[in-house]
Structure 1
Amino acid sequence: MRTHFKKVINPLLFSFILTGLLSGCASTTSETDPIKKVLSSNDIRIRTVMDNPSLYEVQIRFTRIIRDNDSVRFEDFDFGVDSQQYFYPASTVKFPIAVLAMEKINRNKYLNLDTRFYVEGDSVETTFGREIIKIFAVSDNDANNRLVEFLGQDAINAGFREKNIGPARISHRLSVPEADEITTRPLVIYLNDSTTTLLPNSVNSSPKPLNLEGIKKGRGYYEGDSLIQGSFDFSKKNYYPVTTQHGVLKRIIFPEMYAEGERFDLSPAQRSFLLNAMKVVPREAGYSAEDYYDSYGKFFMYGDSKEPMPAHMSIYNKVGYAYGTLTDCAYIKDDKNGVEFMVTATILVNADGVFNDNEYEYEEVGIPFLSALGSELYRLELKRN
């Protein structure tokens, strides 16, 4: 009987145990979804939004980073993420533009991050490295626009396709007249202290209207001093969804996780420079700490505080806010406690439904929500560790 028992029951028992383990893993993953757990917080900064998340058009992607000796794997969790649901990306587009500019520098033997240049018709002489630092330290629009002149919209959009990152479309510069001009301006490059050369301009494709959900928003908008009744049309604006933002971030922080053709072509020195630029706070880049506090461009965890950030915390990120939409895409790392994770989130705060009226709840609702979201995720990962 004992022999027969072993022959018949053990395979079934093994199968039963295996099935139970697998189903148990699936159940545990569902029950312990970190975003769901965090969004159920009683923190008033989160509750205010989560009482009606669709009103705020919230989208969140969180990546848990699991290290096993020398290997790394990701666990992604989403809330409301939908590439077909439009939100205005604002200054978050500056991140891939900076990266693609560095790639282009690599393809020209006469250029490097320290190369001096100016855009034809512009009175500011600068370097590529200086402009990239300004993009991340204080989200400088002029710095971004100079790199758009350097690249051209078509080359930027081709860069997304070549890396198989996901959908995106850059169609315009930021906060300047004729932002959507398809002809870029030439760059005057210094080969040495006395010799210059001209990098020719480019003529780019006219943007086609985007066909996405939520592409028309609100009940009205201002043109100058006139209130226009009806939805504001974003169909010719920049498009850079959460999935694509997160894909760019992953490729910079963990390039080894991707096939060579899907990585950005950066030298080790360039990547080191970029990572430092992404985590730098304004005072470290020479800006006044009184005007530009540490969290000026760091919404997660510290966005609603003007106190200095702890030295052991590094946030490699790019934020954006315009038209009532706030977005942050970040890799957060605590060197002291061994915590690390990635999160990208966006929220719309425009209670009156009118665009271009400068009446948005950034300070009251949006930034506090993102700050609390980052803090809750951090505490969850700290406890897990």
Structure 2
Amino acid sequence: MKAVLFSISMLATTAVLAQSAAAPQIKAVSAAVGEDSRLLDSLLRTAPQLSQVLAHTDQYQLQIIYTQINRDSHNVPHFTRHTYHLNPQQYFNPASLVKLPVALLSLEKLHTLPSPINRSTIMSTGVAWRCQTSVPFAAPADSDRQATVGNYIKRMLLVSDNLAYNRLYEFLGQKPLNDRLQQLGYPGSRIVRRFAPCDTATNRHTNPIAFHSPSGDTLYKEPAKINPRTPAPPLGPVFAGHAYKVGSRLIHHPYDFTTANNLPLPDITALLQSALFPDAVPSAQRLKLSAADYSFLRQYLHLTPHASHFSTYAAPKYFDAYKKYLYYGRQPEAQPQAGLRIFNIVGMSHGYLADVAYFADSLHQSEFLLSAVLYVNQDGIINDANYEYDTIGESFLAQLGQLFYQYEARRPRQYRPDLTPFFQKDPQP
């Protein structure tokens, strides 16, 4: 007997797959746009600290995906997705969320390059077009400071480094990056911008790159790449706010996001899920990564800057709860919860605040996925640096994560999960 399952991509046009009953199941409780899960709706109503946002969900453009994980007797995970105000047609600026797919596809591309190139091989970046910057070959004594794919990914996942993202966006090239997202089943996703003041045409041009031995010998090089045509915006024209600032000048028109990056909440949730649970992904959508790649991703998706022992981030400003908005908010004094590991990616830009996370709790032997995005821009002006991240957004996400952590700690399970892969001792970088 075969079970009908939903594809892990969880897109609005979800494909129906037939797989054996022993395979990981992904079930969407509320797949229709605007149809809220009754469980999720009732659970949110039990938390008065969330009421300010929940009472004005249209204003805050709130979207939530909560995925329950139930293991069977063989520890195979089965996923049940609950949604609240989910609408993939509702644009939000993904900001740094795009760093996860770029990290995943960069690791995958390394496997197509000649041996001995790997994530620790020194990479140089040249210049071939306007709005490009270079990273010349260098072999510093501190290996954490070397320009390598592995270090760029660490910088993106640990502190959301924008320059590291730019280097890997250029390593992939705009067309191969977006072609691969389409092949993997994410037609609503589009990554077409560096985090730099480059226009649409210059973002189609990406730099020449080369890999080198520690002594400087060139092991491999690629010429500059150009995408003949920017991928069409999946949502058509997109505007937000009623005004925006350019320097000190106020423009009394909505801000145009039409040519910006796009990454719907279901897609980035599915990408995180595929990075952590690759066996739950249909083979056509599975990334071509090694066991070592997945271990590397697990390590840096959960580590905080200090816990990583990555020498670049020893400074006090990179506090213990850095970049863990769900559950901790952004409080430097927050103490890590015993037994809890959060594997996540965040985005913060133009008033949009998002966190996409997997919680593994060894204390209560529980686990779940939680993704949320909200818009905190009460004056409706884009680029005025007057957003309510601290006063509304981060505290909402912290309370939201704590609500689900507490619920999952009490939720009965037939089989407790074996979370050993998520609690293995992290090797030194």
TM-score, normalization: structure 1? 0.87
For the pair 1:122 / 2:128, whether they are aligned, the reply is no
2:270 maps to which of 219, 233, 247: 247
1:211, 1:235 within 8 Å by CA — same for their partners in 2?
A: no
More helix by share: 1
Counterpart of 1:55 in structure 2 is: 59
Instruction: Report the CA distance between 1:281 and its aligned residue.
Output: 0.3
CA displacement, residues 2-58 of structure 1 (integer Å, 9 cap, x when unaligned): xxxxxxxxxxxxxxxxxxxxxxxx9xxx998442133213433x1110110110000
Instruction: Report the CA distance between 1:371 and its aligned residue.
Output: 0.9
| Partner Cα separation in structure 1 for residue 261 and residue 366 of structure 2 | 33
Instruction: Report the CA distance between 1:68 and its aligned residue.
Output: 1.2
1:315, 1:331 within 8 Å by CA — same for their partners in 2?
A: yes
1:85 maps to which of 84, 90, 106: 90
1:236 maps to which of 246, 256, 259: 259
Deviates most, 163-172 or 131-140: 163-172
1:160, 1:167 within 8 Å by CA — same for their partners in 2?
A: no
| Partner Cα separation in structure 1 for residue 263 and residue 36 of structure 2 | 31
2:72 maps to which of 68, 71, 88: 68
For the pair 1:169 / 2:190, whether they are aligned, the reply is yes
Instruction: Report the CA distance between 1:182 and its aligned residue.
Output: 1.0
| Partner Cα separation in structure 2 for residue 116 and residue 244 of structure 1 | 31
Deviates most, 355-364 or 114-123: 114-123
Instruction: Report the CA distance between 1:100 and its aligned residue.
Output: 0.1
Counterpart of 1:332 in structure 2 is: 359
2:318 maps to which of 245, 270, 292: 292
1:34, 1:380 within 8 Å by CA — same for their partners in 2?
A: no
Residue aligned with 2:306, SS: helix
Q: How does 1:187-202 map to 2 (within 5 A)?
A: 187-196=209-218, 197-202=220-225
Amino acid at match of 1:113: R
Q: Percent identity?
A: 31
1:333, 1:340 within 8 Å by CA — same for their partners in 2?
A: yes
For the pair 1:158 / 2:179, whether they are aligned, the reply is yes
Deviates most, 297-306 or 272-281: 297-306
Counterpart of 2:141 in structure 1 is: none
Counterpart of 1:12 in structure 2 is: none
Amino acid at match of 2:356: C
1:84, 1:213 within 8 Å by CA — same for their partners in 2?
A: no
| Partner Cα separation in structure 2 for residue 325 and residue 148 of structure 1 | 22
2:125, 2:207 within 8 Å by CA — same for their partners in 1?
A: yes
Residue aligned with 1:301, SS: helix
Counterpart of 1:141 in structure 2 is: 162
Counterpart of 1:7 in structure 2 is: none
Counterpart of 1:17 in structure 2 is: none
For the structure 1 residues 232 and 194, does the alpha-carbon distance in structure 2 shift closer, same or farther, using more than 3 Å as the test?
closer
Gaps of 5+ in 2: 1-28, 30-34, 127-133, 139-145, 413-429
| Partner Cα separation in structure 2 for residue 86 and residue 290 of structure 1 | 35
| Partner Cα separation in structure 2 for residue 209 and residue 107 of structure 1 | 28
2:157, 2:300 within 8 Å by CA — same for their partners in 1?
A: yes
| Partner Cα separation in structure 2 for residue 91 and residue 122 of structure 1 | 22
For the structure 1 residues 31 and 209, does the alpha-carbon distance in structure 2 shift closer, same or farther, using more than 3 Å as the test?
closer
Task: Flag the structure with larger Rg.
Answer: 1
For the structure 1 residues 334 and 289, does the alpha-carbon distance in structure 2 shift closer, same or farther, using more than 3 Å as the test?
farther
Counterpart of 2:26 in structure 1 is: none
| Partner Cα separation in structure 2 for residue 309 and residue 251 of structure 1 | 26
TM-score, normalization: structure 2? 0.79
CA displacement, residues 230-285 of structure 1 (integer Å, 9 cap, x when unaligned): 11110000000011111111211211112222111110011101110111101023
Amino acid at match of 1:326: L
2:190, 2:261 within 8 Å by CA — same for their partners in 1?
A: yes
| Partner Cα separation in structure 2 for residue 280 and residue 353 of structure 1 | 35
For the pair 1:320 / 2:347, whether they are aligned, the reply is yes
| Partner Cα separation in structure 2 for residue 218 and residue 208 of structure 1 | 24
Gaps of 5+ in 1: 1-25
For the structure 1 residues 321 and 252, does the alpha-carbon distance in structure 2 shift closer, same or farther, using more than 3 Å as the test?
same
For the structure 1 residues 88 and 31, does the alpha-carbon distance in structure 2 shift closer, same or farther, using more than 3 Å as the test?
closer
